[in-house]
Amino acid sequence: MPPNVVHAHEKPLAARVLVIGHRGEPAVRPEHTLASYGKAIADGADFIEPDLVMTRDGVMVARHENEIGGTTDVAIHPEFAARKTTRMIDGQAVTGWFTEDFTLAELKTLRARERLPQLRSTRYDGEFQIPTLDEIIDFVAAESAVVGHPVGIIPEIKHGTYFQKLGLPMEDKLLATLAAHSYTRTAPVEIQSFEIANLKYLHQKLGGAHANIRLLQLIDDPGLQPYDVAAAGGRLTYAQMMTPTGLRAVASYADAIGPNINVIIPLTADGHLGSQTALVHDAHAVGLQVHPYTFRPENVFLAKDFWLGHDPDAFNEAGLIAQIDAYLDAGIDAFFTDDAAIGRKAVDQR
């Protein structure tokens, strides 16, 4: 962890703090559906975020994980019952149904379901398909015309090493897809990954020829390693990446970091906001923007400072605005949120 150093009201590097619709707007629509992305855009998101995984026939589709039992109705399709299996994903055993075992045509027969039914409405379960990246780009282009300004796309390459080993690498396919659409040849794009090697590869491939495409190094729990590093027998941890030396290394190939909000302002033992760390300050010192994740509107996801009542499942707009405000004071440049409308309000009221 970076040392605890308070830099209250630090000025962000970005000219304007950006609101990123995390998986669209999953607080009100099932994540990673066109409906979710559309709601985020209508509610003022500057970017929408599709997490990318691969189908068996080599198509990039939007799911948070390649395991889709929790976000689709695949379990009620008897024709796919035999495909339930256990796989080692980034060193962890995961049981379920996996996108790489389905063709795109088969995935299109499924429908999205709410991932957090205990917290959020299931009224839209069964309505929406799994979208491809091509469909998302076309959709965002059309919606951008409606709102009158370009909306950015911030795709995440999920499990890059895993898919490479399956013979389904995403990096070149992602660049080719972005280049194939007139919209993404000019609109803001920020490619993100929790791994390192693929971002370095993309940095080399892009050179200086794609001014609209930036790279975001995601940062996981400080005690963990990027999976590509671990798979190669390396020792680098995310904690080391957040030191001044580590951040200088990241700045050699990326434009921004995406840490968990709790490494910027850690929570105390009783769940309240603690003291701000030096991470934002140190990242800015080497020219990296800071785009933390994830701001969510339910009490359970908020610091206890901002709870409304005692129900952890309660929806709490005022609390989320207050929590975002604390991080805006910390100097962040953009942020991921499950509720773009509230995120937009928090930024605009300043």
Domain ranges of the chain: 18-66+129-348
Say if CB 276 and CB 265 are below 8 A apart.
yes
The string of DSSP letters for 290-343 reads E--B-B-SBGGGS-GGG--SS-TT-B-HHHHHHHHHHHHHTT-SEEEES-HHHH
pLDDT at 8: 58
For 34, 62, 73, 100, 195, the CA distances from 59, given in Å and listed in that order, are 17, 10, 20, 9, 21
Instruction: Find, among 76, 77, 81, 134, the residue nearest to 104 by Cα.
Output: 134
Q: Which amino acid is at 209?
A: A
**34-42 vs 133-147: helix crossing angle, rounded to 10:** 20
Q: Which residues pair with 257 in a beta bridge?
A: 217, 290
pLDDT at 302: 98
Q: What is the pTM of this model?
A: 0.96
Three-state secondary-structure class, residue 276: coil
pLDDT at 209: 64
For 41, 78, 140, the CA distances from 46, given in Å and listed in that order, are 7, 40, 11
Write down the CATH number for the domain with range 18-66+129-348: 3.20.20.190
Return d(Cα 327, Cα 8) in angstroms, integer: 9
* Mean per-residue pLDDT pooled into runs of 10, the chain (350 residues): 55 94 98 98 98 98 98 98 98 98 98 96 97 98 98 98 98 98 98 98 87 96 98 98 98 98 97 97 98 98 97 97 98 98 97
Return d(Cα 258, Cα 216) in angstroms, integer: 7
The H or E element spanning position 89 is strand 85-89
